[in-house]
Amino acid sequence: MSPSSGRAERLAAAVHERGLDLLLVSNLVNVRWLTGFTGSNALVIIGGSGEDAARILLSDFRYTTQIEEQVPPTWDRREATQELVGPALAEHLPPAGGGTPPRVGFEDRAITVHQLERIREAIGDRAELVPAGSLVEGLREVKDAGEVSRIREAARLADIALSEVVGQGLIGRTEAQVALDLEVAMRRHGAEAISFPPIVASGTHGALPHAEPRAVPIEAGVLVTIDWGAQLEGYCSDCTRTFATGEISEDERAVYDVVLRAQETSLAAVRPGRSGREIDAVARDIITEAGHGDAFGHGLGHGVGLEIHEAPRLSRLAPETPLAEGMIVTVEPGIYLPGRFGVRIEDLVVITAMGSDVLNTLPKDLQVVG
Ligand code: ZN
Ligand code: ZN
């Protein structure tokens, strides 16, 4: 399904507002969001409006047919190797020597020094190349109905897959086996891919926020953190649950309860108009008050879309800009006690006019699994 041309028009307006004549989009995820093209080599040149509009997608011979299938004809679709990007761009620039040179933005987080030098050589002093930050990422923050429904469906099938896998028991299976079974179950239920390699972390490994599953059997009487997600038509889901395999200690139970309270309270605070920093503080205050502030070393959450981690962020360092309806974010506080255990609980939510709509359906009160 091709994205609507509204995206290109909104981006062109943002390019103009930023004081740029053209923008080079080299981040392939941004190219996909704009044009629908899913290949591995492309560059977009965009800017202007009406007769002066540049809506150019450059790629190479391998993708000619794919581009015809994926990219609407409103885009000027051209075959060009990376070496020809400069000349293609030069076509859209006025001849040299005429007043102030046009300003051409580039995605400074997503272009190589090599690419930039090639472009510089091709256009010489006919344009000023300007780092333009993350203009497209800013527009990607608010999802449209089609994006929300894909992420909702990815979250739904990921939940089904997890219930199936955990339903077969955890004790005695290795973390790696559980992770593999989860990947297979997600694919079988319709995921085109996984959104990231699942984390299955039991016992002391639960204290590693991004633990890699080990070939180590899961023991009875420990906590097991599972963080997983499915991908559907490019869109990701993300969820975490922490299970107990039998009787756990009072300390483990207490930490679980703190994380759950922080998760539910901060989740209830999500609504348009509040900043990611404020919502992070809601969870962080609860965890800090319980004496575990230092053990919650990451942000409360992140945007999810074509990428598993994207804007906006919910963290101490997030900007004060308010969250808006249509954003999709995670809410995932955790407490990690090195050498002992860890707990994280994560939901994926769409921000609605009144608050948020949770996309996961799995229970959050402590589930004991044999
Ligand atoms: Zn996650
Ligand atoms: Zn996450």
Distance CA 313, CA 290 (A): 24
pLDDT tens column, 4-58? 779 999 999 999 999 999 999 999 999 999 999 999 989 999 998 888 889 999 9
Choose the final residue of a domain: 111, 139, 167. 139
CATH number at residue 97: 3.40.350.10
Cβ proximity of 213 and 179 under 8 Å: yes
Cα of 344 to ligand 1 centre, how many Å?
A: 9
pLDDT tens column, 128-179? 999 999 999 999 999 999 999 999 999 999 999 999 999 999 999 999 999 9
In a domain, 368, yes or no: no
Choose the final residue of a domain: 123, 139, 155. 139
Cβ proximity of 285 and 364 under 8 Å: no
Q: What is the pLDDT of residue 213?
A: 97
Cα of 92 to ligand 2 centre, how many Å?
A: 41
Together in a domain, 28 and 121: yes
Q: Which ligand has the minimum distance to the alpha carbon of residue 229?
A: 1
Domain residues for 25? 6-139
pLDDT confidence bin for 86, thresholds 50/70/90 = confident
Together in a domain, 161 and 280: yes
In a domain, 367, yes or no: no
Cα of 58 to ligand 1 centre, how many Å?
A: 34
- Give the Å distances, CA to CA, from 42 to 71, 123, 219, 262, 308: 12, 19, 48, 43, 21
Residue that the structure tokens 């590693």 belong to: 208
Q: Residue 101 contacts by C-beta under 8 Å, 6 or more apart in sequence?
A: 125, 126, 127, 128
Cα of 299 to ligand 2 centre, how many Å?
A: 10
Q: What is the pLDDT of residue 124?
A: 82
In a domain, 271, yes or no: yes
Q: What is the pLDDT of residue 82?
A: 61
Cα of 133 to ligand 2 centre, how many Å?
A: 23
Q: Is the predicted pLDDT of residue 3 greater than 90, yes or no?
A: no
Q: Residue 196 contacts by C-beta under 8 Å, 6 or more apart in sequence?
A: 229, 236, 238, 308
pLDDT tens column, 250-308? 999 999 999 999 999 999 999 999 999 999 999 999 999 999 999 999 999 999 999 99
In a domain, 366, yes or no: no
Together in a domain, 197 and 327: yes
Cα of 289 to ligand 2 centre, how many Å?
A: 24
Distance CA 325, CA 328 (A): 9
pLDDT confidence bin for 96, thresholds 50/70/90 = low
Choose the final residue of a domain: 139, 163, 185. 139
pLDDT confidence bin for 123, thresholds 50/70/90 = confident
- Give the Å distances, CA to CA, from 259 to 16, 34, 124: 45, 38, 56
Residues around ligand 1, an ion, CB closer than 5 A? 227, 238, 240, 346
**Domains in the chain: how many in total?**
2
Cα of 310 to ligand 1 centre, how many Å?
A: 13
Cα of 3 to ligand 1 centre, how many Å?
A: 27
